Chain A
Amino acid sequence: MKTLYLDNNATTQVAPEVLDAMLPYFRDLYGNPSSMHSFGGQVAKKISNAREQAAALIGALPDEIIFTSCGTESDNAAIRSALATNPEKRHIVTSRVEHPAVKALCASLSRQGYKITEVSVDKNGLLDMEQYENGLTPDTAVVSLMWANNETGVIFPVEKAAEIAHMHGIPFHTDAVQSAGKIPINMKSNVIDMLSISGHKLHAPKGIGVLYVRRGTRFSPFLIGGHQEKGRRGGTENSPGIIGLGSACELASGNLDMENTRVKGLRDKLENTLIKIIPQSKVNGDRTHRLPNTSNISFEYIEGEAILLLMNEHGICASSGSACTSGSLQPSHVLHAMGVPFTMAHGSIRFSLSIYNTEEEIDLVIKTLPPIIERLRSMSPFWSNAAQSCKSE
């Protein structure tokens, strides 16, 4: 059975060009970029090239790019650095819908005595800007707000939020793991101090990430060791990963238009058709301020894991915000923060596309999903009541 992959916010396939760029650095060119010999030195050159490619994707300077092991490390490094360089301040501002890389870190810091303010979102997942601004205090050490949400794709006005933070003299970090490569990012035209990127979300392999740190930002390293990354991140460079990420960033720059035209078109077709032909289904998240590849749809009165496993029988890969798939008993904290009712939250499915998806694939999902929803609803004790109440209205 062919795999039909619509789970690109979870991870992406390594682009063939990226793999080709990486392979020599596993087998033949294994030298340590820090070595004095040219066998290692040639790898250092390639890494410096990758740094330029990564910088170009977000309009940064090469020396503002620190290579890390993943998005989670970048988030940890950024927030911990801001705390270390502002030791007298004990307050962090973030949102209710952050990725666990930020959310769980803040929860852990709160147990160490930090005060955390989690800014609310509205029913469409948009940030409450008034509450955000009111949440900033003289004691605030750092603001960390995601650029785009991994579950709904909703985009936060982080550039505006960073300006507001700066008016209060507070450094600003954004988790841009989902937005890098999907929407234009230009660090020259904003004041964001630190930004996290993950390789495997943009067709580079797992195990590589970027932390952007603006020139002039005070930085305290998270991983302490050798002089790599100008002493800002110890540890021998993951040269194949870095070179792969550089190549992926270059590809992503070239594919940005396609993301926002063709991929967006496929996403819209999938979403509009499904909510039209499946009764009591609804899109979660603001449809204007949203990543072009993400669609989060709730199918009322059924449960997400069951939907996923039946789609799996057809080779279709997606995700759900239901409790049963989260590893906890609570449905998605993102949908909960948006006030999505339980009847909807448990039956939520996230489709996330990439440039590798085709119209045929989308048509196949449109054909396959409605009978699955119908089948599970016919099994649900809540569905018949709901269907009747609809008729009588």
Chain B
Amino acid sequence: MWEYTEKVKEHFLNPRNVGEVENPDGIGEVGSIACGDALKLSFKLDESNRIKEARFKTFGCASAIASSSALTEMIKGKTLEEAMQITNRDIADYLGGLPDEKMHCSVMGKEALEKAIENYRGAPSVKPGETIICECFGVTDMEIERAVRENNLSTIEDVTNYTKAGGGCGNCHEAIQQIIDRVRAEAKPSVKPKLTNIQKIRMIEESLEREIRPSLRHDGGDIELIDIVGNRVLVATRGACKTCKASDITLKHFVEAKLRELVSPDLVIEEVEQ
């Protein structure tokens, strides 16, 4: 059984704004019966161009119904610009969170909202240049890219949980991995600026002294920094580490992991005799 929050249960058992708006300004339909869930969102604007009324019809599980209900509550009173700012994460947060496997329900809400607004503005509903990646669930490259970017996804399983892509025959797993790799490669520079060699050496020295050597010494071991060549960090083992059979595991899973976390993700630890 899924672990749904009280808020999800409450919105599922007492959904708000079920139905269709009469003479709507915008309608958005996403999903299909084959996919296992579908949402039809309709809204009407007031004189000041704020969403006066929003209604939904949903085919799907409890979290799909709760996400739709939450979405209609969230967008009421907002301008279209404000509404467009809502992300799938906001919908999930409004409900106190969704199980990972059900995050695609919040993504469906976000997509229906976008389609409804595009429908109002008269924009084409399918953007040119988009290609279907997952044939089983009809998910495009743009949809996967956005889910990866907005939710910082790193595995194919994550992508399946959020978009359903890859949840069927599995033929598209390679293509999904390529999108993940591409998006994550773009994202890196903005997160961590490239270090100069001097900065890198200083940070490695500091991390070794403060974070790494004290724990090794605690177990009677130690390491010494011998040299840094590009991304290769050359160290020699000392004390108990020198005779320990598991020292290469410690170097890989503790020292290297710590340096990657604290300094730069492309560092590699190498043990040298000295």
A residues whose Cβ falls under 8 Å from a Cβ of B: 301-306, 309-310, 313, 322-325, 327-331, 342-343, 346, 378-382
- Range, interface on chain B: 20 to 34
B residues whose Cβ falls under 8 Å from a Cβ of A: 2, 12-13, 15, 18, 29, 33-34, 36-40, 57-62, 64-65, 101-102, 137, 160, 164, 167-168
- Other A-B pairs beyond A303-B61, A346-B36, A381-B59, 14, CB < 8 Å: A303-B59, A305-B2, A305-B62, A309-B62, A322-B61, A324-B60, A324-B61, A327-B101, A329-B164, A329-B168, A342-B34, A342-B36, A379-B18, A379-B57
Contact A381 B36 (CB under 8 A): no
- In whole Å, how far is B95's beta carbon from the nearest beta carbon of chain A? 15
Q: Which residue of A lies closest to B167 (CB)?
A: A329
Contact A303 B37 (CB under 8 A): yes
Q: Which residues of B contact A327 (CB under 8 A)?
A: 101
8 A–B pairs (Cβ distance < 8 Å), ordered by A:
A304-B61, A305-B2, A306-B65, A342-B34, A346-B33, A346-B59, A381-B38, A381-B59
A346 to B31, CA, bound (A): 14
Contact B15 A379 (CB under 8 A): yes
Given contacts A303-B37, A327-B101, A329-B137, contact A380 B57 (CB under 8 A): yes
Closest 4 CB pairs of A and B: A329-B167, A324-B61, A305-B61, A381-B57
Q: Which residues of B contact A342 (CB under 8 A)?
A: 33-34, 36
Q: Which residue of B lies closest to A304 (CB)?
A: B61
Q: Which residue of B lies closest to A324 (CB)?
A: B61
Q: Which residues of A contact B15 (CB under 8 A)?
A: 379
Q: Which residues of A contact B102 (CB under 8 A)?
A: 324
A330 to B29, CA, bound (A): 21
A236 to B178, CA, bound (A): 50
Q: Which residues of A contact B64 (CB under 8 A)?
A: 303
Q: Which residues of B contact A304 (CB under 8 A)?
A: 61
Q: For chains A and B in complex, what number of residue pairs have CB atoms within 8 angstroms? A: 69
A384 to B39, CA, bound (A): 14
A302 to B61, CA, bound (A): 9
B36 is contacted by which of A301, A324, A378, A379 (Cβ under 8 Å)? A324
A305 to B101, CA, bound (A): 14
- In whole Å, how far is A325's beta carbon from the nearest beta carbon of chain B? 8
- In whole Å, how far is B98's beta carbon from the nearest beta carbon of chain A? 12
Q: Which of A302, A305, A322, A382 has the most CB of B within 10 A?
A: A305
Q: Which residue of B lies closest to A326 (CB)?
A: B36
Q: Which residues of B contact A331 (CB under 8 A)?
A: 36
Contact B59 A302 (CB under 8 A): yes
Q: Which residues of B contact A330 (CB under 8 A)?
A: 167-168
Contact A382 B36 (CB under 8 A): no
Contact A309 B39 (CB under 8 A): no
Contact B12 A309 (CB under 8 A): yes
Q: Which residue of A lies closest to B40 (CB)?
A: A381
- In whole Å, how far is B10's beta carbon from the nearest beta carbon of chain A? 12
Given contacts A306-B12, A329-B137, contact A382 B62 (CB under 8 A): no
Q: Which residues of B contact A302 (CB under 8 A)?
A: 59
Contact A323 B36 (CB under 8 A): yes
Q: Which residues of B contact A313 (CB under 8 A)?
A: 13
A380 is contacted by which of B12, B29, B58, B101 (Cβ under 8 Å)? B58
A304 to B40, CA, bound (A): 19
- In whole Å, how far is B111's beta carbon from the nearest beta carbon of chain A? 14
Q: Which residues of A contact B62 (CB under 8 A)?
A: 305-306, 309
Contact A382 B59 (CB under 8 A): yes
Contact A301 B61 (CB under 8 A): no
Q: Which residues of A contact B61 (CB under 8 A)?
A: 303-306, 322, 324-325
Q: Which residues of A contact B18 (CB under 8 A)?
A: 378-379
- In whole Å, how far is B133's beta carbon from the nearest beta carbon of chain A? 15
Given contacts A323-B36, A330-B167, contact A301 B101 (CB under 8 A): no
- In whole Å, how far is A113's beta carbon from the nearest beta carbon of chain B? 20
Q: Which residues of B contact A379 (CB under 8 A)?
A: 15, 18, 57-59, 65
- In whole Å, how far is A371's beta carbon from the nearest beta carbon of chain B? 14
A381 is contacted by which of B58, B137, B164, B168 (Cβ under 8 Å)? B58
Contact A380 B168 (CB under 8 A): no
- In whole Å, how far is B57's beta carbon from the nearest beta carbon of chain A? 4
Q: Which of B40, B60, B137 has the most CB of A within 10 A?
A: B60
A381 to B57, CA, bound (A): 5
Q: Which residues of B contact A323 (CB under 8 A)?
A: 36
Q: Which residue of B lies closest to A379 (CB)?
A: B18
Q: Which residues of A contact B101 (CB under 8 A)?
A: 327
- In whole Å, how far is A318's beta carbon from the nearest beta carbon of chain B? 13
- In whole Å, how far is B169's beta carbon from the nearest beta carbon of chain A? 9
Contact B59 A329 (CB under 8 A): no
- In whole Å, how far is B161's beta carbon from the nearest beta carbon of chain A? 9
